Amino acid sequence: MNYNIVIHNGTIITMNSSLDIIENGVLCIKNGNLAKIESLENDAPLPDGETIIDAQGGIIMPGLVNTHTHLPMSLFRGLADDLPLSVWLNEHMFPAESKYITPESVRIGTLLSCVEMLLSGTTTCCDGYFYEDHVAWAVNEAGMRAILGQGVIDFPAPGIPDPADNIKNAAAFIQKWRNISPLITPSIFCHSPYTCSKATLKKAKDIADAEAVLFQIHAAETKDEYVRIQTEHQSTPINYLDEIGIIDKNALLVHAVWLDDNDINTIAVRGASVSHNPESNMKLASGIAPVPALLKAGVTVGLGTDGCASNNNLDLISEMDFAAKLHKVIALDPTLMDAVTVLKMATIQGAKALGLDDIIGSLEIGKKADVIVIDTRKPHLVPVYNPVSHIVYAAQGSDIRDVIVNGQLLVKDRKILTVDLENTIEKVIRFSKTV
């Protein structure tokens, strides 16, 4: 058989159910799917391929899955650092978005974020923002795979001057993007239980359920939110959302920091998933999500970066490092959140949290070819005793050399092939001078 792409001479980390690691591996791609994954005998010829990629002894693995971000907010990277969430959001981010976010600024901010993610190994992301139609076109141009949620909030927002139109706008987005691109899956993103009324939350969830799409929401993110929901509804944020029918297998709870044992049990029983965003939570002093307890309860937990305005990068490899070390130091237990657990959160568990684990998240024959190659011939990456822990504790986003999404080569030798990066950077710099 003549394959479209053949990758060889590398260690394949499959992230399949057996966590198989294949030395001297060869991976073949045909028509966007993984068609052959095996070890190549030293004297065996390479399979025929239109494009041959020599991994040069590096690591071949599934593309990373970023379960939460706000792509256009790369435009506000570093705009208002070192502030509490409520101040950062209400006094800086919301006013900046109201004044400066337009369809064109959303487009260039999204392109910049896509390039940053692709160059650091992320092939799939889950986004929630406004003007999401323009986000979708930019993501499609970059060639990434994405779950994209139209933002819903109960006050005027970019592209939705009348909050009464928020649900209608979200429904229209779902209908439009359901069949435009196989890489784009529409979703609904309700900002939070304190910026969306009970009626808004229920209407949005009803539409998400009727359309069988993911429902995303920031939930139990901060102590202030926890106290506010307790005061207004005499309930925890999770219990409040559960009482109105939000918590179920089609819900992605973002942050989920302020949880008690009953909350964790509710999430587990209902089958909802969680997006863990440790760097953003740390920077905004939101707290530390009880991820070990969530995992012990059987909750699916993926890893997310959040937006560039609160992180301030989209490097999921550095996010893995923080996720592993944060919980170790808090619990004073070096065995907690081991490298395998964290790498699963960034790959197959992240895919599962988004409902995509049947097509991505691991390297298995028949799945979509979302693959990255890590260059390990660098001073900070030799020697390699354990490739999994190497990825979590030693690798950097800049070590990603090649990136393939749906069988298409998007990054070759660290050069993005789908986006004019210099032109995008120039546009973002010009935008920043107006802020």
Regarding beta strands 400-405 and 371-374, do their DSSP bridges make them parallel or antiparallel, or are they unpaired?
Answer: antiparallel
For every residue of 225-253, DSSP letters joined together read: HHHHHHHHHSS-HHHHHHHTT--STTEEE
Place 1 in a pLDDT band, splitting at 50, 70 and 90. confident
Characterize 97-118 residue by residue with b for buried, 16 or more Cβ atoms within 10 angstroms of its Cβ, and e for exposed: beebbeeebbbbbbbbbbbbbb
User: Which tens digits make up the pLDDT trace of 369-419?
Assistant: 999 999 999 999 999 999 999 999 999 999 999 999 999 999 999 999 999
Place of tokens 């993501």: 139
Residue 82 neighbours by CB under 8 Å, 6+ apart: none
CB 64 within 8 A of CB 317: yes
Query: pLDDT at position 47, please?
Result: 94
Q: Is 203 helix (H, G, I), strand (E, B) or coil?
A: helix
Which element (helix H / strand E) includes 268? helix 261-270
Report the candidate in 79, 65, 64 with the shortest Cα–Cα distance to residue 311: 79
As a whole number of angstroms, the distance between CA 53 and CA 46 comes to 11
Query: pLDDT at position 299, please?
Result: 98
| Res. 44: pLDDT tops 90 | no
Burial group, residue 96, by CB count within 10 angstroms (0-12, 13-18, 19+): middle
Report the candidate in 51, 55, 57 with the shortest Cα–Cα distance to residue 29: 51
| Res. 85: pLDDT tops 90 | no
As a whole number of angstroms, the distance between CA 166 and CA 94 comes to 16
CATH number of 3-63+360-416: 2.30.40.10
Selecting from 3.40.50.300, 1.20.1250.20, 2.60.120.260, 3.20.20.140, what CATH number does the domain 64-353 have?
3.20.20.140
Give domain limits for the chain.
3-63+360-416, 64-353
Q: Is 182 helix (H, G, I), strand (E, B) or coil?
A: coil
**Angle between the N-to-C axes of helices 198-210 and 166-177, in degrees from 0 to 180, rounded to the nearest 10:** 20
| Res. 202: pLDDT tops 90 | yes
| Res. 280: pLDDT tops 90 | yes
Query: pLDDT at position 385, please?
Result: 95
As a whole number of angstroms, the distance between CA 155 and CA 191 comes to 11
Average pLDDT of the chain to the nearest whole number: 96
Regarding beta strands 251-255 and 64-69, do their DSSP bridges make them parallel or antiparallel, or are they unpaired?
Answer: unpaired
- Hey, what are 364's tokens? 């298995």
Phi and psi, residue 268, nearest 5°: -65, -45
Mean pLDDT of all residues in 227-252:
97
Place 88 in a pLDDT band, splitting at 50, 70 and 90. confident
Mean pLDDT of all residues in 126-151:
98
As a whole number of angstroms, the distance between CA 267 and CA 270 comes to 5
Q: How many CB atoms lie within 10 A of CB 124?
A: 28
Q: How far is CA 44 from CA 13, 38, 157, in A?
A: 21, 12, 60
Place 107 in a pLDDT band, splitting at 50, 70 and 90. very high
Place 84 in a pLDDT band, splitting at 50, 70 and 90. confident
| Res. 89: pLDDT tops 90 | no
Query: pLDDT at position 306, please?
Result: 97
Query: pLDDT at position 335, please?
Result: 97
Characterize 280-315 residue by residue with b for buried, 16 or more Cβ atoms within 10 angstroms of its Cβ, and e for exposed: bbebbebbebbbbebbeeebbbbbbbbbbbbbbbbb
End-to-end CA distance of the chain: 55
